[in-house]
Structure 1
Amino acid sequence: MLRLFTRSTRNIPLCQRFSSTLTADKYPNIKRGDFGKINDEDINHFSKILSPNQLITDSNDITGYNQDWMKKYIGQSKLVLKPKTTEQVSEILKYCNQRKLAVVPQGGNTGLVGGSVPVFDEIVISLASMNNIRSFDQSSGILKVDAGVILENADNYLSENGYIFPLDLGAKGSCFVGGNVATNAGGLRLLRYGSLHGSVLGLEVVLADGTIYNSMHSLRKDNTGYDLKQLFIGSEGSLGIITGVSILCPARPKSVNVAFLGLENYEQVTKCFQKAKSELGEILSAFEFMDKDSQLLAAQTLKTTHPLCQDDIEGIESVPEYPFYVLLETSGSNKEHDDIKLEKFLEDVMESEIVVDGTVSQDEQQLKTLWTWREGIAEASQQFGGVYKYDVSLPLDSMYKLVESVKERLNELELSSTEDNKKPVYEAVGYGHIGDGNLHLNVAVREYNKEVEKALEPFVYEFIESHKGSISAEHGLGFQKKNYIKYSKSETEINMMKDLKKHYDPNGILNPYKYI
């Protein structure tokens, strides 16, 4: 083990200043589409489909539905509908399509690219009341749920039956299963369980004209015709509203270990990952990396002792001076077997000086504590006012170069000072899922700032294009990235996507101003 160093606390005020500017005013080049406007007759019609408590018209009650959780995008909806059945969703969309009333499907509203909130006065269709677990087959592990089931609730239900949901996110306590599928969320354990394109067996989706597409009965193997459900996984509500999900769930691991490691440079991070794949093989379930600044940021909100700190201190001063950190998780069915493999792996990476420091969880509480230092980064990134989030895929050798390039660019720019005479950018940090080449670049700011945004875009996307990456690894395109899809997709691909949109939603009522 190397001696741990301390770092002086930065005296930065924790100001929480969020923009209250409407999205339409912040982006005046976006014009309202040729859609109908809600009137009393429309409200009366929806009242015949839904009960009074399923319609929200009070402006105060609608506020939360009109803005994303980062408060970066703010819409102007005057109506929220909360259907309880697929048939109600069908009736709503059938009417909206006839009247050309634009709608926004909304799940837990935990998205990071403005995809689940209105831009203008679109009707919000919340799936929150569709929250039933429909069935679970103990033999096959196939779970069927309403789209509004909260991810953590689904996983807790499966846990009681000896299974696990094949997706885990930091927002699992708020996000909905339907929203996860609609955005093709990747999460923390894609390395082990793969993407939703593989684990989702069937969907129930309501199309723009009210037609109900149902493949919930699908088997694990079905080689008859086009695999239509794939159109809706990751479509972000632009082709239809997902109301039901059938998903294959694996057996819950009986043994879980988490190791938290300190490393001297990014090259050692990639070497550590190569060793982990080779030596841990089938029990490797997560491999997360974090840079030092992300840990310093997290320390200011967690206010606990860092896992690799040897002293009884808390906060920033407890974070060692290692440039990079790795959180590695193993999961399997035999604890003795897993412990032996992990111990041998850790001995090898320490002896070869790939890793210079580390700790391993000894119980369930320590395991959760180690994970908080990874999962806490997202929330910590916006503690000073706001955050620009970029969720991208890049080849491993160039992944962290993007963070370094952004840091250099922001340092070089002559950015205007804010009211308190401090630079608007607080910190740019990098972390993510090494196992699937997914980098999270967070630029923490004191307030959302046009100069910062211009410095980042399209610079970030041009870097990604030049390194053959993807501008979105798991958060989707939403409103934020719709104009930048050309950096990841060819003109032919984009035209094919537009053709699909025109075919399934000719009036363009489903989640307009987003995606493409």
Structure 2
Amino acid sequence: MINSLTLFVTYIKNFKVLNQVRCASQVLPQFSSEKYKVKRKPFGTIEASDVDYFKTVLSEDRVLTDDNDVLPFNIDWIKNCRGQSKLVLKPKTTQEVSTILKYCNQKRLAVCPQGGNTGLVGGSVPVFDEIVLSFMLMNKIISFDEISGALICEAGCILENLDNYVRERNLIMPLDLGAKGSCHIGGNISTNAGGLRLLRYGNLHGSVLGVEAVKADGTVIDCLKSLKKDNTGYHLKHLFIGSEGTLGLVTKVAIHCPALPKAVSVGFFGVEKFEDILRLYANAKSSLGEILSAFEMADNDSISSTAKNLKLPNPISDYPFYVLLETHGSDEAHDSEKLTRFLEKEMESGLILDGTVTSDPAKMQTIWNLRENIAAAGLVEGYMFKYDVSLPLRNYYSLVPLLRQRLGAKASRVYGYGHVGDGNIHINVIVPKYSPEASSMLEPYIFEEVAKLKGSISAEHGVGFRKPQFIHYSKDANALQLMQQLKQLMDPNGILNPYKVLPEI
């Protein structure tokens, strides 16, 4: 994307400050262990001698023990989960990560790796008193090959900073997220983040050329090749992509960066019904072909509540559904002509009720702000249950009316939006405040419905802390058994990000 989403990024960057304010006012989320009735595993307990040891490995200012300093690392962005960690460690090198993990493994001290803490399923915050291992100081770019587009960097690099760096060299990062101003590339890799342009640039399993990761016992696994082709044995890098820090901690990344598009255009359309969105998508693939980079949808509640809560302008009138379409190409006049022709044709057909097409950066920013700030806007109205699922396109929107009917007046809003191009819909359920009753009406019901439709309960946000008990709706018993065996092999003491991803045996 060509622009920076100032409001959303500022919101994220101020998150830690906001949490300290909440601490002072005692307005804090409930402890995850109490809210979700989780029992602590038999890990070791941090002693003063452990803290003293870590101060010999790291400088004292990189060992945080003060409650106010530690608090922001204990609370996730949507205020759903809250841990009880008393210790945050901030390494600067892979060797420091290795030394820390080796010590923790010997002492059976649980560890919670954390990047930008922008996750939405509780995977990046502790549940009990796990040591938080923050990668924020591992933020160096190691090398960049302008010919091949291979970038090698440390895991704590902020995605937007990397994108700015490669844009200056006429390339872009293959991943673009609403939280790019705060999220870390290591966290993106560890959760296999999807983002807005997977339709054009594919997922991270294809873009990541190599990784360096540290196992629970401190062993460094160096798979940091920057080659597009390397068929020597098992593709070990794929074990760490999407494993959410449960098999090893990603410390360095090699990623392929595609060419910076010379022309970017955005279309924003009003649509009558969801079936028309599917027809538009099919027509867009046919008419726009190779320049189509994103095809997003949002229902009326998604856009109207975002515009109202965050005072963002909507460039077109009020409609039941909206489509945001983006193109990346090499000829602005050619691409703009194709997109305008598409708009005119589909308005004549009746699929598009109203719309606008622009290549102006400020106008594109206005449109993208509406789409990318939907999650932030939902937090203004109350407690948000947030679901991230993928479904066959014919069933893409079917869960939203089902949930509206099921919850009735108990929900302030139920709305859906997401990436039509890859079948990933985000469903937000807003209630005045959290209640076990509302939770029980949603879970496992929504995952049962996803399973009936042969979808996935987690499309791009990961499983984290919130969904291990539901993973069987997407993976069969044999697949789960193999995952458990891999976990036992690579982390026999279970110290890496416990209570996450895999269900209890």
Tell me the TM-score normalised to structure 2 length. 0.93
Name the aligned partner's letter for residue 458 of structure 2. Answer: S
The 3-state SS of whatever aligns with 1:381 is helix
Picking from 320, 327, 349, the partner of 2:324 is 327
The 3-state SS of whatever aligns with 2:475 is coil
Structure-2 separation of matches of 1:349 and 1:150: 39
Structure-1 separation of matches of 2:360 and 2:307: 22
Alignment match, 1:24: 33
1:361 and 1:370 in contact (8 A); partners too: no
Structure-1 separation of matches of 2:249 and 2:445: 33
Alignment match, 1:61: 69
1:283 and 1:338 in contact (8 A); partners too: yes
Structure-2 separation of matches of 1:306 and 1:216: 44
Moved more, 188-197 or 218-227: 218-227
Q: Within the alignment, does 1:490 sit opposite 2:476 as a pair?
A: yes
Q: Within the alignment, does 1:292 sit opposite 2:300 as a pair?
A: yes
The 3-state SS of whatever aligns with 2:246 is coil
Q: Within the alignment, does 1:237 sit opposite 2:245 as a pair?
A: yes
The Cα offsets for residues 457-508 of structure 1, whole Å up to 9 and x where unpaired, read as: 0110000000000000000000100100000001010001000000000000
Alignment match, 2:197: 189
Picking from 474, 486, 489, the partner of 2:460 is 474
Name the aligned partner's letter for residue 510 of structure 1. Answer: L
Structure-1 separation of matches of 2:465 and 2:119: 11
Q: How does 1:157-176 map to 2 (within 5 A)?
A: 157-176=165-184
Picking from 288, 308, 315, the partner of 1:307 is 315
Name the aligned partner's letter for residue 429 of structure 1. Answer: Y
Structure-1 separation of matches of 2:398 and 2:232: 44
2:150 and 2:257 in contact (8 A); partners too: yes
Structure-2 separation of matches of 1:300 and 1:53: 42
Instruction: Give me the identity figure in percent.
Output: 56
Higher relative contact order by CA 8 Å / sep ≥ 6: 1 or 2?
1
Name the aligned partner's letter for residue 421 of structure 2. Answer: G
RMSD across aligned C-alpha pairs, in angstroms?
A: 1.2
1:18 and 1:448 in contact (8 A); partners too: no
Moved more, 367-376 or 299-308: 299-308
Q: Within the alignment, does 1:410 sit opposite 2:407 as a pair?
A: yes
Picking from 365, 379, 382, the partner of 1:382 is 379
The 3-state SS of whatever aligns with 2:83 is coil
Q: Within the alignment, does 1:52 sit opposite 2:67 as a pair?
A: no
Cα distance, 1:218 vs. partner?
Answer: 3.9
Alignment match, 1:350: 347
Cα distance, 1:362 vs. partner?
Answer: 4.3
Structure-1 separation of matches of 2:269 and 2:337: 18
Structure-1 separation of matches of 2:223 and 2:261: 29
What stretches of structure 1 move > 4 A for 4+ residues in a row? 16-19
The 3-state SS of whatever aligns with 2:342 is helix
2:312 and 2:370 in contact (8 A); partners too: no
The Cα offsets for residues 69-102 of structure 1, whole Å up to 9 and x where unpaired, read as: 1111111101000000000000000000000000
The 3-state SS of whatever aligns with 2:212 is strand
Unaligned runs of 5+ in 2: 1-21
Alignment match, 2:207: 199
Alignment match, 2:290: 282
Alignment match, 1:220: 228
Cα distance, 1:426 vs. partner?
Answer: 1.3
Moved more, 261-270 or 335-344: 335-344
The 3-state SS of whatever aligns with 1:154 is helix
Moved more, 300-309 or 327-336: 300-309
Q: Within the alignment, does 1:434 sit opposite 2:420 as a pair?
A: yes
Alignment match, 2:440: 454
Name the aligned partner's letter for residue 434 of structure 1. Answer: V
Structure-2 separation of matches of 1:344 and 1:21: 53
2:336 and 2:359 in contact (8 A); partners too: no
Structure-1 separation of matches of 2:401 and 2:430: 15
Name the aligned partner's letter for residue 237 of structure 1. Answer: G
2:306 and 2:312 in contact (8 A); partners too: no
Structure-2 separation of matches of 1:82 and 1:119: 19
2:340 and 2:357 in contact (8 A); partners too: no
Cα distance, 1:127 vs. partner?
Answer: 0.2
1:105 and 1:116 in contact (8 A); partners too: yes
Structure-1 separation of matches of 2:27 and 2:141: 37
Tell me the TM-score normalised to structure 1 length. 0.91
1:18 and 1:385 in contact (8 A); partners too: no
Structure-2 separation of matches of 1:167 and 1:227: 21
1:261 and 1:327 in contact (8 A); partners too: yes
Alignment match, 2:369: 372
Cα distance, 1:384 vs. partner?
Answer: 1.6
Alignment match, 1:88: 96
Structure-2 separation of matches of 1:262 and 1:470: 28
2:150 and 2:226 in contact (8 A); partners too: no
Q: Within the alignment, does 1:264 sit opposite 2:242 as a pair?
A: no
Q: Within the alignment, does 1:444 sit opposite 2:430 as a pair?
A: yes
Change (3 A) 1:395 1:18: farther
Change (3 A) 1:473 1:18: farther
2:339 and 2:357 in contact (8 A); partners too: no
2:270 and 2:353 in contact (8 A); partners too: yes
Structure-1 separation of matches of 2:375 and 2:224: 34
Cα distance, 1:302 vs. partner?
Answer: 2.9
Name the aligned partner's letter for residue 400 of structure 2. Answer: V
Cα distance, 1:19 vs. partner?
Answer: 5.3
Moved more, 449-458 or 344-353: 344-353
Structure-1 separation of matches of 2:297 and 2:346: 16
Cα distance, 1:372 vs. partner?
Answer: 0.8
Cα distance, 1:246 vs. partner?
Answer: 0.2
Structure-1 separation of matches of 2:39 and 2:333: 62
Cα distance, 1:304 vs. partner?
Answer: 3.6
Cα distance, 1:356 vs. partner?
Answer: 1.1
Alignment match, 2:487: 501
Change (3 A) 1:55 1:508: same
Name the aligned partner's letter for residue 42 of structure 2. Answer: D
1:254 and 1:333 in contact (8 A); partners too: yes
Structure-2 separation of matches of 1:301 and 1:323: 18
